Structure 1
Amino acid sequence: MDTKFSVALHILTMISESKEVLSSQALAVSVGTNASYIRKVIALLKNAGLITSQQGRSGYQLSKNHKEISLLEIYLATQEVDHIRLFQIHQNANKECPVGKHIEKAMVPIFTNVEKHLEDELANQTLEQVIANLYQIANKTRI
């Protein structure tokens, strides 16, 4: 299963909330993966214009306020797609079969509708909500 979306949320939250300059190694330690994987996700986020870095200096910055970065933007950046495709339709259905002949057209409207709802929901959520959830959970678990 692809985890780039959740790793990107982790990275962006850390960049947003950290007072320190974060290297890919520091991010990797927090995420629990290797720095090479972090650099791959960071490259996707940079290509999408969500984060910036300065040449010759370590660390990253959000390119805009966390309140303005939608979860859909992050998802699309990490998956390198222009829309969500959750469901793949099997190939080679038997066109001589009454079900096989029409099943794709029967499924597509349902799949498209579900994917559109997910896109709308992610478009209406921002990185700010992830950060707010993090602080709410962290405050509940403190002794």
Structure 2
Amino acid sequence: MPSEFIIAVHAMAYLRKHPRLISSEELAENICVNPVRVRKVMAKLKAYGLIDTKQGLSGGYSFSIQNETVTLSQIYDALQMRIFHSNWRSGNAHLKCIVSSGMAQVMDDLYETMEATCYEKLKAISICDVVKELEQLYALKENTNERR
């Protein structure tokens, strides 16, 4: 899975959980990546309308859609990427070998199927779902720590 998607989901969950302006430095520290990588991803989310930005010293990012309908598929669309894709192809379509001549097409078809299946799953998961799951994991972790 491309790291930009992971950065974007993490950032969106953080923005949803903390409803205020958040700097790229704060996001980067929480995500554990360089602020430049965060800014590149956030620019795509901004262009798609998923976040708002404010320029300047007191600027930052904020969640722009104040409801529970932002889905992971919207983030995926904003990033204009593919999860299942390879530029490299094995085999050679011109060889007289059934495996070598057809493997690239078989893998391309498989990637398309996996991409469509994954996209349907992403449509069913909202950022609020991600935040709820994070809250449950955190509560479970806290309960485990209290028992020790």
TM-score between both structures, scaled by the size of structure 2:
0.80
Within-5 A mapping of 1:60-79:
60-65=61-66, 67-78=68-79
**Structure 1 residue 91: deviation in Å?**
6.0
CA distance in 2, matches of 1:140, 1:105: 46
Q: What's the counterpart of residue 87 of structure 1?
A: 85
1:43-80 CA distance string (max 9 Å, x none)? 111122110113445122222135211111212323x2
SS in 2 for 1:52: strand
1:71-122 CA distance string (max 9 Å, x none)? 11212323x23xx351325066151323233333333333322221111101
Moved more, 116-125 or 97-106: 97-106
Q: Which letter does structure 2 place at the counterpart of 1:16?
A: R
1:12-36 CA distance string (max 9 Å, x none)? 1111111443111111111112222
Within-5 A mapping of 1:90-101:
90=89, 93-99=92-98, 100-101=100-101
**Paired residues, what number?**
140
Moved more, 97-106 or 120-129: 97-106
Contact 2:71 2:125 in 1 (8 A): yes
RMSD: 2.2
Within-5 A mapping of 1:131-142:
131-142=131-142
**Structure 1 residue 40: deviation in Å?**
1.2
SS in 1 for 2:125: coil
Asked whether 1:11 is paired with 2:16, we answer no
SS in 1 for 2:136: helix
**5+ long unaligned stretches in structure 1:** none
Contact 2:68 2:128 in 1 (8 A): yes
Percent identity over the alignment?
Answer: 24
SS in 1 for 2:60: coil
Contact 1:45 1:51 in 2 (8 A): yes
**5+ long unaligned stretches in structure 2:** none
Q: Which letter does structure 2 place at the counterpart of 1:104?
A: A
Moved more, 49-58 or 114-123: 49-58
Against the structure 1 CA distance between its residues 134 and 12, is the aligned structure 2 distance closer, same or farther, given a 3 Å change threshold? same
Q: What's the counterpart of residue 41 of structure 1?
A: 41
